[in-house]
Amino acid sequence: MNEELRALLRAKANEVPSYDEVPRRLTRRVRRRIARNAVVLTATVAVIAGGAFTGVRALTTAGPAGIGPATTPSASPTPTPSATHSSPAPTSPTSPSPAACTASQLRAVGLLEGAAGSREGAIGVTNLSDRPCTLEGTPTIALFDENQQPIDSGVEFSSSPPGWVVDGSSEPRGWPVVTLAPGKGTASVRIRWSNWCPQGRPTPLWRMVLHGNGRLDEDAGTLDVYGLDAAEAPPCNGPGQPSTIEVGPFEPGR
Amino acid sequence: MSRPGIGDLYLQHAATAVRLAYLLTGDRALAEDLVQDAFVRLAGRLVHLRDPEAFDTYLRTTVVNLSRSHFRRKAVERGYLEKAKGEAAMSHSSTPDRSIEIRDELWHALRRLSHRQRAAIVLRFYEDLPEAEVASILECAPGTVKSLVSRGLDKLRYEIGGDEL
């Protein structure tokens, strides 16, 4: 049986010829994809800021109280060592530093790509205001379902190292404080997302809760994260097991 | 030395990838579409690939995932299986040579397996990958690969008649 099967598979595979030219359609699609990736964390922010996602914006009206720690999607009602997604920053900036960014100054766009069994990427945050501001520490991430209800079970958060550590790059100047220049300054937060079950469950809406320079500052507010609700969710590798999301600290835009 | 462009990579790897996709889907046109999708997807990540030398590994995994997504998302597998059954019935009635007939039946029976069983068998018997690597691609435990292959083979034997092979 096994040898017949091998022979069949080889014979069928040999029906496919070699390729000696690149299809034009592929070339065009590749150009578009590369261009899209290049702009998605920058120009897309401005486009989306125009209000294309009014449905998601409705979440904002719920205010920070609607997505505070009690409604964040941690599977446990009490903090656990692994649920460090809201860990404060270790230090505060000195007085000459710009003020902490508030949600009204920022727009956030996420981009995740497939990795082996998970999705990795970042949430890019852009300062669209006319004054500089700073971000520091690890934001809280909250998920909402298609009915805009908080997903408060079945998801476990943990901390991720910053992307510059993962990539083996040198520590960015000024880190852990990230200063965002007015109009264009960006920061990013590394995300690694795994095990979204059951399969077919809609990809959730993502929101980011800001902590003013390491303190839970309600004025800092909450931020809709665009783009991730349209991303492909990670595969269901462990049915019955919670989805896991690793969240890194703010770092200079990558 | 500069990294190869996506065009170079396509000429180098496309045929291998289409062959795999064809074995996974049983449809040449669909296989070519899936492989193009895979190249488009990987093109956006070329600079991020930790090991560009392992492009064929990334491509193989992407092809398997895209073929799985195709069947899942489009919900075509049922109709596809019906089509395969019909073709099997036609080939059965029109092929005089029993060995060719068995091969055709085996091919159509392969297409009637679940995607995971088919992928496990193709990756083990065509790509000759070890169980651990198949498990990595299918995102499951090595023991699950063994089970998928075993049950897939049992089903193939049943479909074409256990006494034939």
What's the angle, vertex CA A34, arms to CA A28 and CA A248, rounded to 5? 155
> Which residue in B11, B44, B65 is closest to A33 by CB distance?
B44
Q: Is A251 exposed, middle or buried (0-12, 13-18, 19+ CB in 10 A)?
A: buried
User: B144 in contact with A at a CB cutoff of 8 Å?
Assistant: no
Question: CA B51 to CA A226: how far, in whole Å?
Answer: 30
Q: Do A16 and B61 touch (CB under 8 A)?
A: no
User: A184 in contact with B at a CB cutoff of 8 Å?
Assistant: no
Res. B8 pLDDT band, cuts 50 70 90: confident
Res. A59 pLDDT band, cuts 50 70 90: very low
User: B28 in contact with A at a CB cutoff of 8 Å?
Assistant: yes
Q: Locate the chain A residue with the closest alpha carbon to B99.
A: A4
Question: CA B9 to CA B50: how far, in whole Å?
Answer: 16
Is pLDDT at B154 greater than 60 in this prediction? yes
Which of residues A128 and A232 earns the better pLDDT score? A128
pLDDT given for residue A199 in this prediction? 58
Contacts of residue A15 in chain B, CB cutoff 8 Å?
22, 28
Token pair of A54, please?
């009014």
Which of A114-118, A235-239, B109-113 shows the lowest mean pLDDT across its residues? A114-118
Secondary structure of chain A in the HEC alphabet?
Answer: CHHHHHHHHHHHHCCCCCCCCCCHHHHHHHHHHHHHHHHCCCHHHHHHHCCCCHHHHHHHCCCHHHHCHHHCCCCCCCCCCCCCCCCCCCCCCCCCCCCECCHHHEEEEEEEEEECCEEEEEEEEEECCCCCEEEECCCEEEEECCCCCECCCCEEEEECCCHHHHCCCCCCCCCCEEEECCCCCEEEEEEEEECCCCCCCCCCEEEEECCECCECCCCCCEEEEECHHHCCCCCCCCCCCCEEEEEEEEEECC
Q: Do A113 and B44 touch (CB under 8 A)?
A: yes
User: A3 in contact with B at a CB cutoff of 8 Å?
Assistant: no
How close A169 comes to chain B (CA, Å)? Answer: 14
| Assessment of whether the complete model's pTM goes beyond 0.90 | no
How close B107 comes to chain A (CA, Å)? Answer: 7
Q: Do B156 and A29 touch (CB under 8 A)?
A: no
> Across chain A, what does the average pLDDT equal?
72
pLDDT given for residue A80 in this prediction? 34
A6: CB partners within 8 A, 6+ apart = B125, B126
> Which residue in B40, B72, B102 is closest to A30 by CB distance?
B40
pLDDT given for residue B51 in this prediction? 60
Q: Locate the chain B residue with the closest alpha carbon to A6.
A: B125
| A176-204 per-position pLDDT tens digit | 889 999 887 889 999 999 888 865 667 78
Token pair of A82, please?
């692994």
| B14-30 per-position pLDDT tens digit | 999 999 999 998 888 88
Question: CA A143 to CA A204: how far, in whole Å?
Answer: 6
Q: Do B107 and A36 touch (CB under 8 A)?
A: no
| A94-137 per-position pLDDT tens digit | 456 688 888 888 888 888 877 667 888 889 888 888 889 888 88
Which of A64-73, B79-88, B123-132 shows the lowest mean pLDDT across its residues? A64-73
Q: Locate the chain A residue with the closest alpha carbon to B119.
A: A9
User: B134 in contact with A at a CB cutoff of 8 Å?
Assistant: no
* CB hemisphere CA count around A180 (13 angstroms): 31
User: B158 in contact with A at a CB cutoff of 8 Å?
Assistant: no
Token pair of B110, please?
């392969």
pLDDT given for residue B151 in this prediction? 93
A122 strand-pairing partners: A111, A190
User: A168 in contact with B at a CB cutoff of 8 Å?
Assistant: no
How close B126 comes to chain A (CA, Å)? Answer: 6
Under DSSP, is residue B26 helix (H, G, I), strand (E, B) or coil?
coil
Contacts of residue B102 in chain A, CB cutoff 8 Å?
4
What are the backbone angles phi and psi of residue B74, rounded to the nearest 5°?
-80, -10
Question: CA A233 to CA A195: how far, in whole Å?
Answer: 8
